[in-house]
Amino acid sequence: MSGKYQVCKNCVMDTTDPEIKFDENGRCDYCDNYYNRIQPSWDPKGGEQKLQELVKKIKASGKGKKYDCIIGLSGGVDSSYLTYYSKEKLGLRPLLLSVDTCWNLNVANANTERIVSKLNLDVERITVDWEEMKDLQIAFLKSQVPYQDLTQDHAIFAGLYNSAVKYGIKYVLTGANFSMEGVKPPYEWVYINDIRLIKSIHKKYGTRPLKTFPMAGMLKYRLYYRYIKGMKIVHPLNLIPYKKDDVLKELEEKFGWEKYENKHYENIFTRFYEGYWLPKKFGYDKRKCYYSIMILNGQMTREKALEMLEKPPYDENQALKDMEYIAERFGMSKDEFLQLMNGENKTYRDYKNSAFLLKSAIRFAMFVGMEKRNFR
Ligand SMILES: [Zn+2]
């Protein structure tokens, strides 16, 4: 990468992603990926038939069982809508999984409860052991890697897959969708779920063993769970028209659901990490990904996105309050926390990791057509 700052002329991704590429018209490779890979395969209008076929398979897999699928419910918009849609519109019988990483805001918990009680569904609740969560999160802060939310993200996704297998449920429904998540955050910002990386950072900076922390390495979930246990991860929201404004309105009307200021801000740590830690410390602003996909699928104009990016991701005073709260929960003084924040930035490459293996596995999956993603 040259040192020159450049922003895509079509979306708002820019050279804060060190691996971004631009064509001769100044259009980036996320846009290219969207127009050439995602858009042709994403067909909400023609999705109806595919959706019905999928529902048939899910129902058949659950015949004679209490549940036919599992959904991880965070209280966020995508998983809330997916839960509602699956039960009420598709007639599925989901088991819900709620993973409490000890950082949820009340509004997220309240949303979860509203959905659960109104839809009368069963919930499996996993509460991560706070001492283990804290130990791992502090180890990550000390490691100085950008992706501080890997700890929570891993617990949530491992908890979901482990529960699916535990209950013998074949179909894992996720709220991930091209409509809002078609631009993946750059690899450099959020190097993916890598159990080897988690363990090597914890080994170096952790102070207690992780005995109950939910874990699922790539071999376990990509190979054992998928091919031996037959677990299938599906994304139904890609088969229906899914517009954020409409969905929010529907959730508000039906459940008294409350929205958050920003995507993924249902959690105090995540709010601080995405809104302050990443932009201040690394210059990475995840709103660029969220806004870019909305520009690409016509839910936001580029002008509006640029205007919103002029403002900080969240209120500076709130950020400082959140920082004090986080430091206190970690048993640190504000100064100790600031010292970590001002430490020398590192990347996943500074620790043992499985990047090579994971990249190869994903390339292979793409090659045989199992996976579509923007991947360099
Ligand atoms: Zn672009």
pLDDT for 151 beyond 50: yes
Close Cβ partners of 223 (under 8 Å, ≥ 6 residues apart)? none
CA of 285 to the centre of ligand 1 (A): 15
Cα 23 to averaged position of ligand 1 atoms, centre (Å): 10
CA distance 333 to 42: 49
Q: Domain segments of the chain: what residues?
A: 44-376
Q: Residues near 275 by Cβ (< 8 Å), separated by ≥ 6? A: 262, 265, 312, 313, 314, 319
Q: 76 alpha carbon to ligand 1 midpoint, in Å? A: 26
**Percentage with pLDDT > 90 across the chain:** 62
Per-residue pLDDT for 194 more than 90?
Answer: no
Distance (Å) from CA 371 to ligand 1 centroid? 21
* Confidence at residue 373, expressed as pLDDT on a 0 to 100 scale: 52
Does the domain at residues 44-376 carry the CATH identifier 3.40.50.620? yes
Q: What are phi and psi of 45, to 5 degrees?
A: -75, -40
Q: How far is the CA of 228 from the centre of ligand 1 (A)?
A: 39
Q: What is the pLDDT of residue 376?
A: 47
pLDDT at 18 over 70: yes
Alpha carbon of 295 to ligand 1 centroid (Å): 9
Cβ count near 87 (within 10 Å): 19
- Model confidence over 306-351: pLDDT tens digits? 999 999 888 889 999 999 999 999 999 999 999 999 999 999 999 9
Residues 6+ away with beta carbon under 8 Å from 144: 340, 343, 344, 345, 346, 350
Q: Give the chain's count of helices (H) and strands (E).
A: 17, 5
DSSP string, 17-82: STT--B-TTS-BHHHHHIIIIIHHH--TTTHHHHHHHHHHHHHHHTTTSS-SEEEE--SSHHHHHH
Contact 67, 103 (CB under 8 A): no
Residue 111 tokens read as 């949303």
- Give distance in angstroms: CA of 153 to centre of ligand 1: 26
Residue 6 or 371, more confident:
6
Tokens of 307: 């205007």
Distance 352 CA to ligand 1 centre (A): 32
Q: Tell how far the Cα of 317 is from the centroid of ligand 1, in angstroms.
A: 32
Q: What is the mean pLDDT of residues 213-234?
A: 82
Compute the distance from residue 20 Cα to the ligand 1 centre, in Å. 9
The C-alpha atoms of residue 226 and residue 221 are separated, in whole angstroms, by 6
Residue 46 has pLDDT above 70, yes or no: no
Contact predicate 215/128, CB 8 Å = no
Q: Give the dihedral sign, CA 282/363/28/235.
A: negative
Cβ within 8 Å of residue 213, ≥6 positions away? 128, 129, 132, 133, 136, 155
Diameter over CA atoms, the chain = 61
**CA 126 to centroid of ligand 1, rounded, Å:** 39
> For residues 73 and 84, is the Cβ–Cβ distance under 8 A?
no
Residues 149-180 as b or e (16 or more Cβ within 10 Å = b): bbbbbbbbbbbbbbbbbeeebbbbbbbbbbbb
Q: Name which of 118, 54, 46 is nearest 92 in CA terms.
A: 54
CA 309 to ligand 1 centroid distance, Å: 15
Contact 234, 42 (CB under 8 A): no
For residues 201 and 138, the answer to whether their CB atoms sit within 8 Å is no
Phi, psi torsion values for 256, nearest 5 degrees: 65, 30
pLDDT of residue 371: 57
The residue with greater pLDDT, 230 or 171, is 171
Highest mean pLDDT among 54-58, 98-102, 151-155, 293-297: 54-58
Cα 29 to averaged position of ligand 1 atoms, centre (Å) = 6
C-alpha of residue 9 to centroid of ligand 1, in Å: 7
Query: Which of 76-85, 128-137, 162-171, 176-185 is predicted least confidently?
Result: 176-185
CA of 16 to the centre of ligand 1 (A): 13
Q: Of 58, 80, 53, nearest to 69 (Cα)?
A: 58
Euclidean distance between CA atoms 145 and 372, whole angstroms: 27
Tell how far the Cα of 283 is from the centroid of ligand 1, in angstroms.
18
Round to whole Å and give the CA distance between 311 and 154: 30
End-to-end CA distance of the chain: 14
Residues 6 or more apart from 143 whose CB is under 8 A from it? 201, 204, 205, 346, 350, 351
39's CB contacts (< 8 A; 6+ apart) are none
Answer yes or no: is pLDDT of 173 > 70.
Answer: yes
Rg of the chain over CA atoms, in angstroms? 20
- Distance in Å, CA 13 to ligand 1 centroid: 6
Separation of 11 CA from ligand 1 center, angstroms? 4
Average pLDDT over the chain, rounded to an integer: 88
Q: How far is the CA of 22 from the centre of ligand 1 (A)?
A: 8
* Segment 97-120, tens digit of pLDDT: 999 999 987 788 888 999 999 999
Q: Is the pLDDT of residue 193 over 90?
A: no
For residue 29, pLDDT over 60 is answered with yes
pLDDT band at 212; cut points 50, 70, 90 = very high
Work out the pLDDT band at 152, boundaries 50, 70, 90: very high
> Alpha-carbon distance 180 to 70, whole Å?
21
pLDDT at 230: 86
